[in-house]
Structure formats: structure tokens, C-alpha cells
Amino acid sequence: MTVLTTTRHQAEPLAHYRLLTAVQQHGFDTAIQRANDAHDADRYNAAMHTAGLAIGIALADGAEITQCACQDCYCDAVFDTSGPDLIVIETTDYGVQRFQCAACADDHPATPED
């Protein structure tokens, strides 16, 4: 058996935003917004947990999910921010950081602004 190409394994996104139902999108958006406004770790984690439930995933305590913030394509990947090969586009002291998903980071990496 000959392997002609080596494809780097990338974690599949947890969900694709466009494929969610309107109710799921609303629940996800609302929860992420609440996480952004939390300014408090407990409320932040609770909001993240709700965001996970909105897309049908029970997140571990302290886990964070977000939608790809890529500005070079219309990526709608929703992924766990602890995953490999992500690029942080923007950090915040509180609230949700903005990430590029692994596929985008591989394909057309963003250059974070200082």
C-alpha cells in the first residue's frame, strides 16, 4: 500500500453554524453574547455551557467554544478553543477570544494585530 499524500489530521469542528436550526443559532448567539458580557468566571463558564447545549454538546467544565472568526472566508466552524492548530486573532481580558479554526489557520493564516 502506497500513501501518496500526507494529510495533517485536523479535528472536525463541533458544528457548522449554517447547519444549525434557527433556534440553535439563537441559543448559541445569546449564550456567546452572555459569555462576552459576563466579566466573571462563573457566569462565563455557565454561559459557555449553555452555548454548548444550544448546539447539542455537553461541554466539560471550563471548556470554551466559539465560531471561527476568520475574515478571509465565510467559515462557520464552531469549535473548542482548546483544540490544536488554532490562531488567536484577538484576545480580551474578559469575554470570548476570537480564534481562527485549524482549517483556516492551515489554509490562510491570519496575522494577529498587536
Footprint of Zn ion (CB under 5 A): 68, 70, 72-73, 75, 77, 101, 104
Residue type (1 letter), 90 = E
Within the chain, strands assigned E span: 15-16, 65-67, 77-80, 87-90, 98-100
CB of 109 to Zn ion, least distance (A): 9
Which of residues 40 and 72 has its CB atom nearest to Zn ion in the complex?
72
In this complex, which beta carbon is closest to Zn ion, that of residue 72 or of residue 90?
A: 72
Closest CA to 84 of 70, 97, 100, 72: 100
| Smallest separation (angstroms) from Zn ion to the CB of 75 | 3
Task: Find the shortest distance in angstroms from Cβ 40 to Zn ion.
Answer: 29
Q: Report the residue number, 10 or 50, with the smaller CB distance to Zn ion.
A: 10
Neighbours of 1 (CB within 10 A): 2
Backbone angles phi, psi at 26, to 5 degrees: -65, -45
Shortest distance (Å) from residue 61 CB to Zn ion: 26
